[in-house]
Amino acid sequence: MTTVDKTNISPSVPWKAVSFSCGGWLQFYLFGVARAMQVRGLDKNIKVAGCSAGSLAAAGLVLGVSIHAYIQNVCVVGILKCNEQAKVCCVLRSF
């Protein structure tokens, strides 16, 4: 688990709302932004919106889930499994 440096947490957020756009493979960038907001305490008392991959980042903030755990357990594992399955599909002799 990552420790949070309490000296860098902002006491007040300078914005009222955040919107995460669609992203496709940019989802990891969006998740990184959401994670940085969580670490710095900038995800409190704001309105959050998003579409496509951005909606996943927004939902994570709204639900208060660990974006770091999501990236590690869902995205990385999911990509590795998809990669393994894609290799099998390219081997025509197995069909």
User: DSSP characters for 16-78?
Assistant: SEEEE---GGGHHHHHHHHHHHHHHTTTSS-EEEE-THHHHHHHHHHHT--HHHHIIIIIIHH
What predicted TM-score, i.e. pTM, was given to this entire model?
0.67
Confidence of residue 23 (pLDDT cuts 50, 70, 90): confident
Mean pLDDT of the chain: 79
- Are 35 and 67 in contact by the 8 Å Cβ rule? The answer is yes
**Would you state the pLDDT for residue 95?**
47
Centre a 10 Å sphere on the Cβ of residue 95 and count the other Cβ atoms it contains. 6
Q: What are the backbone dihedrals phi and psi of residue 60, each rounded to the nearest 5 degrees, phi first?
A: -60, -40
